[in-house]
Structure 1
Amino acid sequence: MGKDYYKILGIPSGANEDEIKKAYRKMALKYHPDKNKEPNAEEKFKEIAEAYDVLSDPKKRSLYDQYGEEGLKTGGGTAGGSSGSFHYTFHGDPHATFASFFGGSNPFDIFFASSRSTRPFSGFDPDDMDVDEDEDPFGAFGRFGFNGLSRGPRRAPEPLYPRRKVQDPPVVHELRVSLEEIYHGSTKRMKITRRRLNPDGRTVRTEDKILHIVIKRDATPDNIPADIVFVLKDKPHAHFRRDGTNVLYSALISLKEALCGCTVNIPTIDGRVIPLPCNDVIKPGTVKRLRGEGLPFPKVPTQRGDLIVEFKVRFPDRLTPQTRQILKQHLPCS
């Protein structure tokens, strides 16, 4: 059974956008690994990020409501699904989701930075961060002194430490490539739409970039520009399947060819055809390996994996009595 994203965030299926944001904010603060030291906190934190990633996006949420998690990740559940070629894969970094939600910074850094072994002031308990979803989890420090006495009207707190630059969360894009492009190498053109800071330092504009050159990235005084991360995904191929640097090919031969021998023409990724003699009896599932006809090794491009040929045997649907009798006479019993 697939994941129940609504249950993970603790909201009903009819929750609106604000309710989804409030639920993510509350749950993410509760299970953030910097605060929650339970063994399952990291996995729970990741589930919460994935649930928010789906439910905060109208298209993903619509597909999830119709087909569930499995249908969302396989493109609508069936070949006739209305989702077309859309396939969802969570980018896998819940901390990027968290940082993006809180404006590119980690609200726990001031209390839980690994470079400091002591808390910045005594009496602070991480469990004090468990607050109602409608309450500002950090606002209390502006209303009360750390000795518990009221300071009067709320005012913006002065920073305890000099502001440090933080890097924006990575921008993740999925890039589909064919096996031929992996084999030969290629240059891809990608149009990326980014928000960039205007000269006034306050407003932003959207700008398109075609990525086959170095992108100029803007930075504010307190942030480092985000990296752009391309996640390579294999396109489905008509003839081959990929297994690391090896390429798998299924060869279909007749029963006569399997028993009497044959030569099978095996296509390669670069368009050649290799004759493969088969003189022994070929059983269904027999595998033969063509060395060095696969994909390049990532760290040693001059070396390649193998082209692995798996044989499938096509059996006849029926036999005549005469053929059956001949086979009985000539084929071994075991």
Structure 2
Amino acid sequence: MGIDYYGILQIPKHSNDLDIKKAYRNLALEFNKGLLENKEAQQVFTLIGEAYDVLSCPQKRAIFDQYGEEGLKRGIPTVDKYIPAYHYHGDPMITYKDFFGTTSPYADLLDFLKNPPLLYKMADGNQCIRKKQEPIKHPLQLTLHEIFFGGVKKMKIQRLAFTNAEKSCTEIKEKILNISIKPGIRPNTEIIFPEEGDQNPAQIPADVIFITEDRPHETFVRDGDNLIIEVDVTLEEALLGTTVTVNTIDHRTIRIPITDVVYPGYEKIVEGEGMVILEQYPNKGDLIIRFNINFPTYLPKNSKDVLRKGFHLARLGGGAGQHEVINKLVLADKILRVDPDERLPPM
């Protein structure tokens, strides 16, 4: 003889949907609080969850009423199709959470009756709970220009929408969603459009969620609120200094003098020239300049002698101002290489 689900919930066979919910509510609260006390309570709690899972579904309940627990779990062949066997998932806390919205045994259980879920009336006259569909997530790639200035981005979606007042027929329609982009918006930000998914009389439409991503830029790489740029310099520029010209995202041209010796790993930080800070608009992060040093493939002996002399003098001076000494020596060497006829007359 199979399990009597009505007996487990302690209700008569003619009980309506609300009677089933009341019975499950009272028993689930009682045995959930006693789970930590004994194993028998855990077994009973699992049977209570299974009984509610069957009797709260009109189709499962109808099969159970006609064929009992054994027929329900064996599967029923019909003229048109085969009704597959029923198997309870075995975790009563899942059933409990679906019912109360929480796993706490001290939840406000009466709230379920005061604010019942939306019901859908099926063709056979029975009712089932309208559950919300799983959210639909889309990546949203943004250029650094769009992130810097912000604005509104329009996205076209297709979804099933009701075509009649009775909300029984649907067809595919297009809709334009206006996505508000805040200046400085960060990657992996979720922008949610509630219930913009497919409309269905038996389900609540899903939320449509756009998740932001930074699109690669040809010049800059974003690092939090900072912008990173890589610049190629020659060995001469690395030692003697240079000026880096940067075309910013907001259409300005800035020139940054590099007076330090550029060594591997050296970075030049320009404050306030990075990405807009989301929480501190219009303040901006920093611009970080990194350098790739291109070494010459050949140096004449005279050039090597000049550099060797410069490094030697710098070492004699304790290393202080090394690059300045080299600058002066290279400049002197260049002057000496000028043709005497091209030199300026003495003052």
> TM (normalized to structure 2)?
0.50
**Kindly, what percent of the aligned residue pairs are identical?**
31
Identify the match of residue 206 of structure 2 among 206, 223, 226.
226
Note if contact 1:297-1:305 (Cα within 8 Å) is conserved in structure 2: yes
Q: Distance in 2 between matches of 1:251 and 1:233?
A: 25
Q: Give the structure 1 partner of residue 266 of structure 2.
A: 286
Identify the match of residue 191 of structure 1 among 156, 167, 172.
156
Q: Give the structure 2 partner of residue 248 of structure 1.
A: 228
Note if contact 1:209-1:215 (Cα within 8 Å) is conserved in structure 2: no
Q: Distance in 2 between matches of 1:171 and 1:276?
A: 46
- 1:246-325 matched pairs, under 5 angstroms: 246-325=226-305
Cα displacement (A) at 1:255 = 0.9
Identify the match of residue 170 of structure 1 among 121, 131, 135.
135
Cα displacement (A) at 1:211 = 2.0
Q: Distance in 2 between matches of 1:317 and 1:191?
A: 55
Q: Distance in 2 between matches of 1:276 and 1:178?
A: 25
Which structure is higher in helix share? 2
- The verdict on how the C-alpha distance between 1:208 and 1:281 changes in structure 2, with shifts beyond 3 A counting, is same
Note if contact 2:167-2:201 (Cα within 8 Å) is conserved in structure 1: no
Q: Give the structure 1 partner of residue 190 of structure 2.
A: none
Which structure is higher in strand share? 2
Q: Distance in 1 between matches of 2:255 and 2:149?
A: 22
Q: Give the structure 2 partner of residue 179 of structure 1.
A: 144
Cα RMSD over matched residues?
4.0
Q: Distance in 1 between matches of 2:75 and 2:266?
A: 80
List runs of 5+ in structure 2 lacking aligned partners: 1-23, 33-43, 52-58, 87-94, 100-118, 120-127, 180-192, 320-347
Q: Distance in 2 between matches of 1:259 and 1:153?
A: 83
Per-residue CA deviations over 1:245-270 (Å, capped at 9, x if unaligned) read: 11101122111111112222233211
Q: Give the structure 2 partner of residue 238 of structure 1.
A: 218
- The verdict on how the C-alpha distance between 1:221 and 1:321 changes in structure 2, with shifts beyond 3 A counting, is same
Q: Give the structure 2 partner of residue 209 of structure 1.
A: 175
Q: Distance in 2 between matches of 1:153 and 1:291?
A: 71
- The verdict on how the C-alpha distance between 1:307 and 1:206 changes in structure 2, with shifts beyond 3 A counting, is same
Q: Which amino acid aligns with 2:133?
A: D
Q: Which amino acid aligns with 1:205?
A: E
Cα displacement (A) at 1:278 = 1.8
Note if contact 2:227-2:275 (Cα within 8 Å) is conserved in structure 1: yes
SS in structure 2 of the partner of residue 190 of structure 1: strand
Q: Which amino acid aligns with 1:271?
A: H
Please tell me whether Structure 1 or Structure 2 has the larger radius of gyration of its CA atoms: 2
Q: Which amino acid aligns with 2:155?
A: M
